[in-house]
Structures are given as structure tokens and as C-alpha cells.
Structure 1
Amino acid sequence: MRLTLKSIQNPVAVLIVSVLLMLMGALSLSNMPAQLLPDIEKPVLTVMTSWPGASPAETEAELTVPIEEVLTGTPGMTEMQAWSMADFAFMQLEFAIETDMSMALIDVISRLNRLRPLPANAEKPQIMMGEWGDANDVLIEYFIQQLPDSQYSKAENGRYLREVVLPELQSLYGVSRIEFDTGTWGSGDQLRIVFDIYKAADLGIDIARIPEKIGRSGNISSGVVDVGRKQFTLRFEGRYDIDELASLIIEWRDGRPIKLSDLATIEVGPGEANGFIYQNGNSSFRLGIQKTNDANVLQALEGVKNKLDELNRETFAERGLFAQYSFDPSRYIHRAMSLLGGNLVLGIILAITVLWLFLRQWRATLLIALAIPISLLTTFIVLKITGRTLNVISLAGLAFASGMVLDAAIVVLENIVRLEESGEDKTNACDKGATQVWGALLASTATTVAIFIPIMFLEDAEGQMFADLAMTIAIGVSISLVVAVTILPTAARYFMTQLPDREHRIEKSVWRNLADKI
């Protein structure tokens, strides 16, 4: 075969290419994002909205039902589930596997823009790709404890965390967004109006109608006014500070205005707590830090932990706060990687040992074993180019492939040895040794790859989970075929100066005797 002959005639070029492939593979391995499992993209969108103080029945009637009405009939949607809870509602939209999720997102946003006005203090619906609370997107969870000796209120510390700390954390590498939870809707500052029902009864004022009057003081358009040739748009600004709100006229009695301050006390402060978060006996805030899809999880975790350790030493210590993670995902990742990496190395050692037991010559054994590092390291180059991550699934694929990549090399070397023993000179034996078995090796490799290729194109969650396994094995076996017909014949031509002792290697070996008995 021309490729084999050219390789044998240019040993320096083959050596340089081999070294470059291994160096590039090692570099790709060191730069690959590492995580526990592969990223799984589900055709799911989540719509979330909140309405502080609302009951489950109210969130269903005022939030869930209107949103369901506008989203019904979204192209490609196969299922819609909705949950209505106190203060909160969210919908999960599941689409067909082949749906373009970018277009689905645009369609959902367009439909939500047609939504009728929600209650005044309800938040606008937020859209998130994927399932709500998907554990695969979680980088790490922290609890920030408020220590008993803190000189700041929880509301003040909550405002500090939201306005100062969260922007700093969101700017770190690998952080996409942060879920900040105080444990209660009422822990932030709220405007509180406490009515005196006895005064209202004496004046004959219906307290139930007062919120409506206050609500009508919002910003409204007041039309236009023509001044000469110019036309101006009028807008009534109905926002008040606390003093102005206290002077709001509610009713008139006997020609005298009844102000809001005559009936109620108005103040700004922390609202009534309706929930709690505790860690180690201390009231706490929760930070749910989400990762970006292309992030190196270990690198991102290190950056987040270093930042929060720095805050613990500095500003958190001054404010009576202490940040502590609930668990460290990097420990599980390192443990899984170490376990699989150890098994991979053990598998390679066992494969080489078995080769030596058959060949009984270290030089021939090492020539065949050369296919393992070249094939596996080159596989990392392809995985890096295709945007894959280093995870337990891809490492499992490498462990499977570590033995399979030797098959072609064993066949080629055995044929080279056979030809040399039959009297062929070394160059012709190395060339013909690969050429004669090329067709059979190609068919064998193609059938192996054909088994795994369909898995790589499955779009459901299971297909995405095991795509790394299939791709790793297919790439490793394919590269091993190229190594067997180029690098191995070249190495055999110049480094296998002595043929394996066939008498000692086969006829006198326990393996030959065992094979004869079988």
C-alpha cells in the first residue's frame, strides 16, 4: 500500500508526526472541560413568575391560567405542565425531539408578549432553557450564614448580598446565573401600611377600597396638548415617597380631606417572614450557582470557592456573615476520574502483559503497545475539536477502547513476522505485512464503528448521555487502524532487529498447550 511504503521510506516524518500527535493530545486533555457527566440538552422550556403574598388559588387564577391560555398551541410543544404555589407559579413546556429550541424560545417570548396584564405586584414571566432545578446545570450551592454577633439585620445583609456580592460572583468564569434565596419573600424591605380599623369605622370609610385608590396613583398617560405648532405628550407621575403617600387624600368628609395618615401608619421595613433557611443553627441565605455549558467545572468551582473564601476573610467577617458550601462536587469528580483513570492504566498494563506472554519479546510487545498512547491521545484531539468534555462516560469509552486499539496492530505485526520468516527482506515484509491485511482490517474496523455510530446521532437524553462513549470508541478504533498501517510498519522496520522466538513463544508456551487442549 502506497501510504505504508511512504511511511517506511520517511521514518523521521513518521516520528515527528507521532510525537506531535501525542503532544497535541496531551495539551487537548489538559484543556478539556472536566465534569462528572456529559451535558444533556432536553427540549424543555420553563416559564416562571412570582406574586408575593398570593395564595395557590390566586396564583393559579391570575398567573397560571392566563399563561397557559397564550402558550396553548405553541408549535412543536408536546406537553405542558404547570405548578401553582403560594407566591410562585411555573410551567414546564416539553417539545418534540426534532424541534429547533431557538425558534421555540422566540415563539414562547412572542406569545408571552400578548399576555394580558398581570396583578400589579406580580413579576413578569421569566423563561429558562431546560428543566427548572436541573441538577446537571448546578455548579455548587452555598449557604451564607448570618452569625449571632452580626451588627446588621438580615434585610441589610440580604440587600448587600444582592447588590454587591451577586454581581461579583456572576462575573466569574463558568457562572451563568445565580439563584438567590432568602427563605422568605418578606425578608427584603417592604412598604407596610397598618390601618386603624376603629378610626376608619368612625369616619365611615371602607378599608377594602383604599388599596384600589392607592393603586390608581400609578403612572398613567394623560393624552397630548397642542402648543402652537408643537404637540406634547402628557404623563401623570403618580409615584410617591413615604411623606407624599401619607398625604394621599382618601375621602372627603364635611369639606375636610381624609388623608391616608389619618387612618394608617406608614413605614418601610422588613416584611413578615413566611419561611426560613438555616445552616448549622444560623439563619442563612442560599446561593444556587449555575454553570455555563462550555465551562470546565473544576476550574469554575475553584474560582467560586476562592472568591467566597476571600469574602469570608474580609467583608463577610466585618458583617457577621460566613459562606459555606453544602457539598463540594469537585470531590466526587476527582474521585470518579481517579477511579476510572486507575482502571484505564490497569487495563493497559494487563493488555501489555498478555501480549508479552504470547510474544515473549519486549521489543515486539512495545511496538504493538505503541498503538495505545498514540490512539488514545489522538482521540482527545478529536474530542476537543468537537466540543466534548472529559467525564466518566468518555473515560469509560477510553477504557473500552484501550484493548480494542491493539487488534489491528497485533494482526499487522504477526503478518510482518510471518513474511520475514518466509524470507522476505525487512522493508518488503513491513510493506506487504500491512498491505495484505489492509482490507480485512478495514472491514473489521468499519463493522465496529458502525455499531456505535447510530448512538452518536440519537437526540434523546439517553443518546446524549452515551454519545461520548460511542464517539470515543469509534474514534480510537479508527485511529488505531491508521497507526497499524503507517506507524507500526515503520517502527518494525527500524526497531525490531530480532524476530520473536516462535519456538519459545508458541510451541513451548502454556498458552499453546491450553489452545491445543481446547
Structure 2
Amino acid sequence: MFSGLFIRRPNLAIVIALVVTIAGALAILAIPVAQFPPITPPSVQVSATYPGANAQVVADSVAAPIEAQVNGVEGMLYMSSTSTDTGAYTLSVTFAQGTDPDLAQINVQNRLSLATPTLPTEVSRQGVTVRKQSSNMLMAVNVFSPGGQFDPIFISNYASINLRDAIARVPGVGDAQVMGALTYAMRVWMDPNRMTALGITAADVVAAIQNQNLQASAGQIGAPPVPDGQQQQLTILARGRLDDPKQFAGIIVRTNPNGGVVRLGDIGRVELGAQSYGSTAKLDGDPAATLVVYQSPDANALDVATAVRAELDRLSGRFPEGLDYAVVFDTTSFVSATIEEIVLTLGITFLLVVVVIYVFLQDWRATMIPTLAIPVSIIGVFAVLLVLGYSANTITLFALVLAIGLVVDDAIVVVENVRRVMEEHPDQPAPSASRIAMEQVTGAIVASTLVLAAVFVPVAFLPGITGQLYRQFAVTITTAFLISGMVSLTLTPALCGLLLRPPTRPWRPLAAFNRGLDGVRDRYGGLVGWLSRKLVIGIAVFALLTAGAFLLLRSLPTAFLPSEDQGYFFVNVQLPSAASLSRTEAVMTDVTERLRATPGVAHVISIAGYSILSGAASNVGLQIVVLKPWGERGAAETVDALLGRLRPQLGVIAESVQNRTLSGGPGRASG
């Protein structure tokens, strides 16, 4: 008999249980933590810019050759692109679930290299970028000037130069982007009348800037071959790229035959500005740079958020006077609160299960045996999750909450049967009674474990995003059942042989409970006997309950995921096509004022010129509405309640074609 080995050698069973528990405990320290399993397929984004071109020109000269080459790349599901009147082009290539994102990026880059020679020269000069597109938004860091000492261009560039790369290097950060970036650039405003009078064209100006704004290799003095006696060899340092408007204004555009020169400052003015003004960012209506941080798929969200905040604290010590930052949008706040609630639920469930076991077994020794099966079965699951590359998320932890009440069933069966044998054979010692009991119930334990596992295993093979979401649920609860079955065949009989003693008289309050339970059992038996004689009535009651359950099921609302208040929601603003950015900003300012006047709203992050639905365009905008902490909001200030009040308020804005509120979290969107 399989269990006989562990009854004779209980130390072996204890060691196996300890190994499983320790492996699970170590896995808890290393396993990633997230809100949900990764359900979005990997995607790669291709970005290019054609300055001065409209959307049709971008589509014909940039999108067409790139998409012709990228189409059909290995593992691709579909691709979508956006061409805007600002000259921006974005292509998103979505791959099948399970595709290696790094390999997908390399494959797209290789295909793109075939299209590069056919792109306009200006597009190639600007550069075409390929990067993995991360959907796991972790937080948004807002850099701003409280006293208004710095303009938006300085704030944006400070965030890009001093923060973005440092944050991107934090372990677990997949990407970091400055939304509404105003990258420094020298802007040359040419005077067409002066240029016409002097016979200078725009091409002459471009050529002069390119030829004189470069990092040249000036050579060396005293380099071989040299005359004998040369004592020194010096490298010539020449002024390279220009970095000041006055230096650019001094660029010689043309030399006249009489020796005179025409400088860039003679035919125009030069100023330091932004390369593009196609997007702006604000925090609560004030200029700010918004640095969005994305999490790597295999990283621990809570650890990454902590590391990012620590890095920000370090970097903020170097901020110039008058510059500050704030992290008002952090998705890990909800994740942390959710994990804490689930862990608390796990603890309460564990205590309730132990109390129920004691009430019915009425022996602390007998209670301790199935109680020990709970931590072994639950903690050991994490080792399997880590090996499979899964995370600790709301789905897997919910499976563990359900499993707590089920993993003790087999252990209780073993303990009850051993006690029955000891009652029937008082002369049998506990080890002998355990062997007799296991001979009787081993088959039943194996069968019940496999039946419970068979209920959930098919869920792991559901196709599509639904299967990807609930696969970890099925694996978690099935693993818990299998470990509990193993514990019931090894540790439980061994502990029964070590700990159980012949039953004694129960504690007086428990004796009263037994009498009450016997009365309930007798009445239940009488009811069942009566229904068995009145078969028609029994069938009618069963049919009525079944029909009622079916009707209630039909009346319940359905959703891909349950609706939850995550402490934030998104607002997408869209104006008519060809609306200017200033017009979009005016509408977003109006929306921001309405949002900030709403009770329960703490902060509003606004990004004009960008939408999570349609990408970059002058007629769209995105707003992240961050609510006050859950403890400071009542029932009238939940996400759903606020959305219900805000939709009619935002819908009256005449300028806006669409004000769509998007609540936070997967599967939650309404318009």
C-alpha cells in the first residue's frame, strides 16, 4: 500500500511536505505580482515622421511601402496604421499570443529595412523607429513648475533628458515615454521678401545649415610622416555642431563676388523652440510633462513601482529650484489594495475552515491534521505558478480562496475514517488503524481528487483572450487539488499515526451542538423520506427551483470581467476632423474645469493631440481622471456613479463631437 510507507516512516512524509512548502514560500518572494494575467497579445510599433506632409501624402509615400514589406511577418495576426495631417505615421503590428516580443521586433525591423530605400529622404533623415509596444501602464509621472518659473518646453526636455532614460533603466520597467514631448529644436523663420530680393531659395538655406552644422574631423598636427625632431602630436579641436541661436544666425548662406556674405540672420530670425508643437500635456490645468511608465510582462508591479519612486526621489535631488514632480496616477494602488483584501480574505477563510473542522471533529489533534494540509496545498501552488511563468494576480488568488475550503476534504475523510476504525477497534494503535483506514479510502481519495481536477482542467483549454485570462485560474485550483491529494496520501495518514488518540467525551458546549445537529439530521431524514414517497412533489419542487435559477441567471448582467472601482477613469475627447490643436486645448480646458469641480475627483492629467483610441492627431485628446482614495469617497462618488453624472455634463459641450468616458481596467468602456 502506497500510504503504508509514510505511516511507517512519518519523517519522510514530513520532509516532502516541508520541501513543497519551502519551495512555495521561496516562489512567493520571486513571483511577479499583477492585477490580471497578461491577456493582450504582443505588438510592435513602427513610427515615422514626414514634416510638412498631409495625411494622404503620408499614407501614399510612407505607409504604403512600409506596410507592403511588413505584411505577413512571421506570427502576425493583424496590423493597423494611422497617418495624420501633422506628418506622423504609426503602424501597430499585433502578433499571436505566445510570440516572443523581442523576436517579433527583430522580424519587423528586418522587414522595415527592405522598405527604407523607397521612403522619402526626409523621412529617412528623421528616422523610422521600431519598438515593442507595452500595454501594461504602471504609472504616470508629472513634472511641473509650481511657480511658473519654467516654460513647457524646458519642463518637457528636462523630463526627456534627465528622467526618461534613468526610469527606463529601472529593473522591471518595459518602457518610459514622455507624452506631449516638446523636443528642443532651432526654428528658422525666413523672410520671403528678403530672400527674393537676394535670390536665395529655401534649398540654399537648408544646404548651408547642413554643411556648417556638423561635427567635423579636423585632423592632427605633427602626425607622421613628419621631419625628424618633431616633438609633439596634437589633435585639432574644431567647433562642431551649433547650439545657440546666435551661432545659427551667423551661418553663411552665400558669399557674393565682391567679398560680401549673406548670413542666416540677414534673411530671417532664429529661435530655440520645439521640434513639434503637435501635443501638449497639463496637470490640473497647468503645463506639465507627463512621463508614462510601462511595466515588463514578467515583472512584479509592486516592486517596480517602489523602485521607480525610489529612483524619482534620487533624481529629484538634482532638480533646479522651481521644478517638482508628482505621481498622481499609479495603477499599483488598486493592485496593492486588491492583494491586501484577498490576503485578508485568505486569512479569514483559513480561520473559519479551522473553526468548522474543530466544531465537527471536536478534537484538537484531529483538527490540526487537516489544518496542516491547507498551508502545504496553498503555498505549494506558488512554486508551480512560478515554474509556468504565471503571476500572483486577482485571478490566481481568487482560485486559492476557493480552494481553501476544498483542499481539506480529502484530509477530513482520512481523519474521520481513522477515528472510526479506532472506535470500532479500540485495541488497534493509531498507526495500525491508519493503515486499515487508508486501505479503505485510498481509491476514493484518488478518484475524488481526479474528479475535482477534471472539472477545472477544461477551462485551461478555452480559446482566445477568455482562455488566456482564466487559464491561470484553472491551473491554480487544479494544482491545489493535486497537492492536497498528495498530502492526503502521505502527510495526513502519517500524522494520524503520530497524533490521533482514542476518542474522548466531547466538551459540554459541543455535546449540546451534537444534540442539535442530530435533531436537524433526523428532521432532514424525515423530509427526504417523505419526498421519496411523494415523488411527483419532489420532481415539481426540483423543476421549480431549476426554472427559478435559470430565470435569475438570465436576468443577471454579463461582462468579460467584473466592474470595479480602480480609482481612475479615462476621458477621450474628439473634435471634428481638421480641428486645430488650440481648439482642442480649449475644449479640454473646459472639460478639465468640469471634472475638477466634480466631488471625488483629485487630479486631471490632460494630453492634447493624443488619443488611446486613434493615436496622434490635432483634433483629439486624452484625460486621465484620478479620484480621491477609496476611504475618502462615499457611495455617490464611485467610478460608476461619477460616470453616470459626467456623461450628460460632458455631452453638452458644443465643440466636441465625442466625449467618451473610459473607466479604468480591462473590459470596461462605455460611451
TM range (shorter): 0.7 to 0.9
Q: Secondary structure at the match of 2:294?
A: strand
Counterparts of 1:216 and 1:149 in 2: how far apart (Å)?
36
Q: Secondary structure at the match of 1:47?
A: strand
Q: Secondary structure at the match of 1:389?
A: coil
Instruction: Report the counterpart of residue 189 of structure 1 in structure 2.
Output: 184
Counterparts of 2:106 and 2:199 in 1: how far apart (Å)?
52
The worse-fitting range, judged by mean Cα deviation, of 120-129 and 339-348 is 120-129
The Cα shift of 1:295 comes to 1.8
Counterparts of 2:419 and 2:408 in 1: how far apart (Å)?
16
Q: 1:176 aligned to 2:150?
A: no
Q: 1:295 aligned to 2:314?
A: no
- 1:184-227 deviations in whole A, cap 9, x for unaligned? 5xx3332222222222333455x4654675598599xxxxxxxx
Instruction: Report the counterpart of residue 647 of structure 2 in structure 1.
Output: none
Please, which runs of 5 or more residues in structure 1 have no aligned partner?
220-238
Counterparts of 1:79 and 1:17 in 2: how far apart (Å)?
49
Counterparts of 1:510 and 1:55 in 2: how far apart (Å)?
84
The Cα shift of 1:500 comes to 6.8
Q: Secondary structure at the match of 2:329?
A: coil
The Cα shift of 1:298 comes to 1.0
For 1:392, which of 394, 408, 430 is the aligned residue? 394
Instruction: Report the counterpart of residue 422 of structure 1 in structure 2.
Output: 424
Counterparts of 1:83 and 1:273 in 2: how far apart (Å)?
18
Identity of aligned residues (%): 24
Larger relative contact order (Cα-Cα within 8 Å, sequence gap ≥ 6): 1
Q: Secondary structure at the match of 1:113?
A: helix
- 1:72-98 deviations in whole A, cap 9, x for unaligned? 333443422111122422122234457
The Cα shift of 1:479 comes to 0.6
Q: Aligned pairs, how many? A: 485
Instruction: Report the counterpart of residue 80 of structure 1 in structure 2.
Output: 79
TM-score (normalizing by structure 1): 0.82
The Cα shift of 1:176 comes to 2.5
The worse-fitting range, judged by mean Cα deviation, of 209-218 and 468-477 is 209-218
- RMSD over aligned Cα atoms: 3.3
Counterparts of 2:399 and 2:34 in 1: how far apart (Å)?
15
Instruction: Report the counterpart of residue 437 of structure 1 in structure 2.
Output: 441
TM-score (normalizing by structure 2): 0.65
Counterparts of 1:99 and 1:306 in 2: how far apart (Å)?
33
Counterparts of 1:103 and 1:341 in 2: how far apart (Å)?
37
Instruction: Report the counterpart of residue 309 of structure 1 in structure 2.
Output: 313
- 1:6-64 deviations in whole A, cap 9, x for unaligned? 21122334334434543443333233322212233514333222345544334323322
Counterparts of 1:149 and 1:213 in 2: how far apart (Å)?
38
Is contact 2:61–2:119 with CA below 8 Å preserved after alignment? no
Counterparts of 1:389 and 1:332 in 2: how far apart (Å)?
16
Instruction: Note closer, same or farther for the CA distance 1:500–1:54 as it changes in structure 2 (3 Å cut).
Output: farther
Instruction: Report the counterpart of residue 500 of structure 2 in structure 1.
Output: 496
For 2:164, which of 144, 163, 166 is the aligned residue? 166
Instruction: Note closer, same or farther for the CA distance 1:97–1:278 as it changes in structure 2 (3 Å cut).
Output: closer
- 1:255-304 deviations in whole A, cap 9, x for unaligned? 88874538622535114744421213431111111122222211111121
Q: Secondary structure at the match of 1:327?
A: strand
Alignment of 1:281-430 (within 5 A): 281-312=285-316, 314-316=317-319, 318-423=320-425, 425=428, 426-430=430-434
Q: 1:68 aligned to 2:67?
A: yes
Is contact 1:59–1:87 with CA below 8 Å preserved after alignment? yes
Q: Which amino acid aligns with 1:330?
A: T
Q: Which amino acid aligns with 1:179?
A: Q
Is contact 1:7–1:14 with CA below 8 Å preserved after alignment? yes
The Cα shift of 1:341 comes to 1.9
Is contact 2:422–2:502 with CA below 8 Å preserved after alignment? no
Counterparts of 1:95 and 1:328 in 2: how far apart (Å)?
28
Q: Secondary structure at the match of 1:348?
A: helix
Counterparts of 1:195 and 1:97 in 2: how far apart (Å)?
52
Counterparts of 1:216 and 1:19 in 2: how far apart (Å)?
71
The Cα shift of 1:396 comes to 0.4
Counterparts of 2:51 and 2:289 in 1: how far apart (Å)?
18
Instruction: Report the counterpart of residue 143 of structure 2 in structure 1.
Output: 144
Instruction: Note closer, same or farther for the CA distance 1:145–1:514 as it changes in structure 2 (3 Å cut).
Output: farther
The Cα shift of 1:141 comes to 0.8
Q: Secondary structure at the match of 2:122?
A: coil
Instruction: Report the counterpart of residue 107 of structure 1 in structure 2.
Output: 107
Instruction: Note closer, same or farther for the CA distance 1:506–1:83 as it changes in structure 2 (3 Å cut).
Output: farther
